[in-house]
A and B are shown apart, each in its own frame.
Chain A
Amino acid sequence: MSIDAKGVEKLAQLARLDISEKDIAATTRSIGEVLKLVDQLQQLDTRQIEPLSHPLDAKQRLRADRVTETNQRDAFEALAPLCEDGLYLVPRVIE
């Protein structure tokens, strides 16, 4: 399947990325190269094959629902770009 500049812009929007006008042609071309590579699999007959999501076919382990971590709020807040009174600050969403 090929992709055009409009398709790439749509993808970028879904992925929360901005692609500048000057980069869109090159990005479209390189995404097209990768899609051409992976399109090889379209020819493969896999009707009888079960998908493999874990390389050892292991099941996700579950744990008891209890608190195991200590509260490190101060350490995490120190890493945030903008934080105040225990809240992460972002631009106003509701006017």
Chain B
Amino acid sequence: MHNKTLREISNDLASGLYSSEEITGELLARCERLNGALNAFISITPELALAQARQADARRAKGDAAALTGVPMAHKDIFCTQGIRTSAGSHMLDNFISPYDATVVERLKADGMVCLGKTNMDEFAMGSSNETSWYGPVHNPWKKGAVPGGSSGGSAAAVAARMVPATTGTDTGGSIRQPASLCGITGLKPTYGRVSRWGMVAFASSLDQAGPMARTAEDCALLLQSMAGFDERDSTCMDYSVEDYLAALEQPLAGLRIGLPREYFNHGLDPAMGALLQAAADLLQAQGATLHEVSLPHADLAISTYYIIAPAECSTNLSRYDGVRYGYRCKDPANLMDLYCRSRSEAFGDEVKRRILVGTYVLSAGFYDAYYRQAQKARRLINNDFASAFEAVDLILCPSALGAAFDMGSKTANPVDMYKEDLYTIPVNLAGLPALTAPCGFINGMPAGLQLVAPHFAEARLLQVAHQYQQLTDWHLARPDMRIWGESS
């Protein structure tokens, strides 16, 4: 049962092959068995999950079930879940039991999805390997000692290990797409403002966006259909009609213009990754799509721009953690300043502190124009590059990550080595565009994903192309050998 996709489970529940309570019980047992080794979950919530499953079965008995009703899933531990710890992977929020549900949680719950728990992540979503989590690193199900990517590493690993068919993730600089690539699953970062950020622990507010992670584009379409839409509680959420994503999946690819950015397919690209992307491009071309070279001339500025804007917004957002109203408080503070400084220093990890310090630097008096304002201008140049490219093409095809999953500890000596991991994903966040990662092959036995980027609000096109690609290929069906983790399959 655990190998089934969200769509297959949905169909099985509809035909009465098994109940939500049955599949929830089976997947809960699998999560409990595997989590000691993989550490993909921070919290597993069996009682709540089984109660939700029984509710879903009752709802189905009344003839009131939706496509997602009774299907098990898990939320990244960055989404507030009422009555359940919401830690954001940090010691700071280890004791934080959210008093309310995030909009994303509320919407999926309203459709009857069953939440099995909260997935592990880099602390406050700051990292690309899941090694900054206060709850310890997550293992890539494909190989012991390899990272799953980050920051939504637990969400990606849980889907790849068939613990759950679907998870939510968030993506500020690649945190859905890079782990999806490294774990061999499908993940979508929607347009900035497409999905409500309300109740999502904030990292960098002009970049953060929630999205679905699953095994197929079709499953992502089902999830996004529920997650997307206007929410007045998020002042940056866009009031823009939501397309019928499922209906779009079956559209043929004939006439689709696909752009390949010159700056990404240069000598810096891993040749193995280049070969996989070329094979994918050729396949799409054989289906009637046309390939075009496009240019993103300011691509090389993206990492520098991001590492000014993201830390600046991080230092502002994380100033709320003061040890007074919620979260961690140090023992026996001598005075108010000691309370602030020690609570924050004891409860934030090194990477979070580093970004707070960098953010404080670039926003400080005298440096604001030279750094933050300059980065906002560079951001416009990067945005304009994409706008020009999309005058000539409907979609861009490029890598999601530098290569396949790397070993734990191999990029932690210098923070900049880890930052460069997001070379191909960061520009998309700066421009607020939607992008999807889907498996496209293997490099030395480890999965790798292609990235499709579309104009604002063209999520349906991304899902359509990925779905059509997945009808012609079986990379998304490949699964890790779980015998290395003591499972029979």
A interface residues, Cβ below 8 angstroms from B: 1, 3, 8, 11-12, 14-19, 27, 30-31, 33-42, 44, 46, 49-56, 58, 60-61, 63, 72, 75-76, 78-82, 88, 90-93
Near A by CB (< 8 A), chain B positions 128-154 give none
Binary contact track B16-38/A, C-beta < 8 Å → 1, others 0: 00000000000000000000000
Q: Check A49–B324 contact: CB distance below 8 A.
A: no
Return 27 A-B CB contacts under 8 Å, by A number. A16-B341, A17-B353, A17-B357, A19-B345, A30-B415, A31-B354, A31-B358, A33-B414, A34-B311, A34-B415, A35-B358, A38-B304, A38-B375, A41-B375, A51-B376, A51-B379, A51-B380, A52-B383, A55-B207, A56-B193, A60-B236, A61-B235, A75-B99, A79-B97, A90-B324, A91-B335, A91-B336
- Residues of chain A contacted by B359 (CB below 8 angstroms): 15
**Which one of A1, A16, A27, A37 contacts B307 once the chains associate, using CB atoms below 8 Å?**
A37
**CB of B46 closer than 8 Å to a CB of A:** no
**Which of the candidate stretches B5-13, B326-334, B390-398 sits at the interface with the other chain?**
B326-334
Residues of A within 8 A of B377 (CB): 44, 46, 49-52
A51 surroundings in chain B (CB, below 8 A): 373, 376-377, 379-380
The smallest C-beta distance from B210 to any residue of chain A, in angstroms, reads 15
In the bound complex, how far is the Cα of B359 from the Cα of A38, in angstroms? Answer: 12
Q: Does B301 sit at the interface, judged by CB under 8 A? A: yes
Complex contacts, A53 vs chain B, CB 8 Å: 206, 376
* Chain B contacts with A in 419-470, Cβ cutoff 8 A: 419, 429-433, 456
Contact B333 A91 (CB under 8 A): yes
- For B429, list chain A residues within 8 Å (CB): 55
Does B388 belong to the interface (CB within 8 Å)? no
One of B108-116, B158-166, B360-368 at the interface: B360-368
Cβ–Cβ contact B376 & A63, under 8 A: no
Does B416 sit at the interface, judged by CB under 8 A? Answer: yes
Q: Are A18 and B345 in contact (CB under 8 A)?
A: yes
Number of residues from B at the complex interface, CB < 8 A? 75
Q: Which of A52, A54, A63, A91 gathers most chain B CB within 10 Å?
A: A52
Complex-state Cα separation, A40 to B375, whole angstroms:
10
Judge whether B336 and A90 touch: CB under 8 Å.
Answer: yes
Inter-subunit contact A3/B361 (CB<8 Å): yes
Contact B308 A50 (CB under 8 A): no
In the bound complex, what is the Cα–Cα distance between A9 and B438 (angstroms)? 44
| A90 touching B339, Cβ below 8 Å | yes
Instruction: State the CA gap A19–B453 with chains docked (Å).
Output: 41
> Separation in Å of the B430 CB from the closest CB of chain A?
7
Closest residue on chain A to residue B367 by CB atoms? A1
Beta-carbon contact of B357 and A55 below 8 Å: no
Most chain B CB inside 10 Å of its own CB: which residue of A14, A56, A93: A56
Chain B interfacial positions (CB closer than 8 Å to A)? 96-97, 99, 191-193, 206-207, 232, 235-236, 238, 301, 303-305, 307-308, 311, 315, 319, 322-329, 333-342, 344-345, 348, 353-354, 356-362, 364, 367, 370-371, 373-381, 383, 414-416, 419, 429-433, 456
- Shortest distance in angstroms between A50's beta carbon and chain B's nearest beta carbon? 6
Are A56 and B360 also in contact (CB < 8 A) when A17-B353, A44-B301 are?
Answer: no
Complexed CA–CA distance, A19 and B232 (Å):
40
Chain B residue contacts of A46, Cβ below 8 A:
374, 377-378, 381
Among the interface residues A39, A42, A81, which one has the most CB atoms of the partner chain B within 10 A?
A81
Name the residue of chain B whose CB is nearest to the CB of A63.
B232
Given A34-B358, A41-B305, A91-B334, does the pair A14, B329 have CB atoms closer than 8 Å? no
For B318, the closest partner residue in chain A by CB is A15
Q: Tell whether, in the assembled complex, residue B206 and residue A80 are in contact, meaning their CB atoms are under 8 Å apart.
A: no
A11 to B326, CA, bound (A): 24
Whether B206 lies near A34 (C-beta < 8 A) is: no
Identity of the chain B residue whose Cβ is nearest the Cβ of A48 in the assembled complex: B377
Asked whether, in the complex, the Cβ of A40 is within 8 Å of the Cβ of B301, the reply is yes
Q: Report the Cα distance A18→B339, complex, angstroms.
A: 11
Known: A90-B336, A91-B334, A93-B336. A38 touches B371 (CB 8 A): yes
Distance of A88 Cα from B339 Cα, bound (Å): 13
Residues of A contacting B305 with CB < 8 Å? Answer: 41
B315/A15 in contact, CB under 8 A: yes
The reply to whether B325 and A80 form a contact with Cβ atoms under 8 Å apart is yes
Of B191, B344, B367, the contact of A16 (CB 8 Å cutoff): B344
The residue on B at minimum CB distance from A47 is B377
Q: Which of B354, B432, B456 contacts A27 (CB 8 A)?
A: B354
The distance in angstroms between the C-alpha atoms of A33 and B132, with both chains bound, is 19
